[in-house]
Amino acid sequence: MPIKFANNFGTTLASSINANATSFSVASASGFPSLGGSDYVFVTIASEVVKVTATSGTTFTCEAVSGGHSAGATVEIRVTAEMLEDFQRASELYVHPNHSGDVTSSADGAQTIAADAVTYAKMQNVTATDRILGRDSSGAGIVEEITPANLRTMINVEDGATADQTAAQIKTALENGIDSVHYVNASIDNEHLADNAVGTSEIANDAVTADKLANSINSAIAANTAKTGITSGQTSAITANTAKVTNATHSGEVTGATALTIADDVVDEANLKLGNSASNGHFLQAQSGQSGGMVWAAVDALPSQTSNSGKYLTTNGSAASWAVLDTDANTTTKGLYEHSHTIASNYTIGSGNNAGSFGAITINSNISVTIGSGSTWTIA
């Protein structure tokens, strides 16, 4: 569109012009728009609107004026009906060119950004490092910068988590971080329970029903008529459990239904808990520190008693033997015989025997010495 404008341009005619003149001179061209090609400007000379198509210094070329004007007449750029109407016609005739490249269009059609045309360089810069684009605010909306802390919250990852944790670190994390809310119902079976893992502290109150109790416990509870230590609900459940099994009556080596009895002549060597194996001729000996507190021990046997009547048993420190008691020996390897000079208990000298004492002899009160028939007591 070649129409040109300028603010507050005003001058005067340098000389008079006649009607139908196609040029005129002005006192000053300062501030007048530069024209080229098909450019033009509407000016007002006095009260006539004139179309100027070219300038050369202070000389303006124009379409023929309708009337003459005297020197000194005003020459101004004003907003006129001709100017506005021409401007409107020019805008209506304008057609957008076809665009190509990153943004395409056809004539006055909508412009389109080509696929893959917006590179990272063309995107708005982020405000800081460690940012990703997304949206953290509630609901749909414009793209936002996501901080590391907000990102961890969005994807539910703890601060400091790494991808290279060791097996021990993972084990610790699992042991400290997994509880009942992380298990699916019925996901743990018997083989995954550690021995003794379930104790009294892990069993909830009222969780063990009567049918889970051993028969012996049911019997003991049934005998507890006062139902001490259990709730009324547990009492009702136990009473309703008609399938309780009583103790069976046993037979064989151990008999009875309640108090059991070991039968006579049934406990043999195989039933004893001993610290060693038996050998023929050994006897059972108590010995602390041995398994069962008993062991089999050998017996130091006596020498044969045959033809050894009246003899006494003696030993040399390693073997026992029978020996004759020499009651008639009248010799000794000692130089002296010694005996007490007081007889403190009753004594009888056997019939036909002689007895002797040395020195003064005192017989205590109420004590007697009886000399048998044919016997002699000599005191020297």
| Predicted local confidence at residue 6, as pLDDT | 94
Q: What is the mean pLDDT of residues 37-62?
A: 96
Residue in the block written with tokens 């509407």: 42
DSSP string, 28-80: --TTPPP--TT-BEEEEETTEEEEEEEEETTEEEESPPSS-B-TT-EEE----
**214 alpha-carbon distance from chain centroid:** 35
For residue 157, name the pLDDT band (cuts at 50, 70, 90): confident
> 42, 33 in Cβ contact below 8 A?
no
pLDDT for 243 beyond 60: no
pLDDT for 8 beyond 60: yes
Q: What is the mean pLDDT of residues 82-97?
A: 75
Q: What is the mean pLDDT of residues 176-182?
A: 70
> 282, 299 in Cβ contact below 8 A?
yes
| Predicted local confidence at residue 226, as pLDDT | 60
| Predicted local confidence at residue 241, as pLDDT | 67
The residues with which 370 forms a beta bridge, in sequence order, are 348
| Predicted local confidence at residue 25, as pLDDT | 97
Q: What is the pLDDT of residues 117-143, one digit of tens each?
A: 888 888 889 989 989 999 989 999 999
Q: Give the rounded percent of residues in the chain with a pLDDT score beyond 70.
A: 86
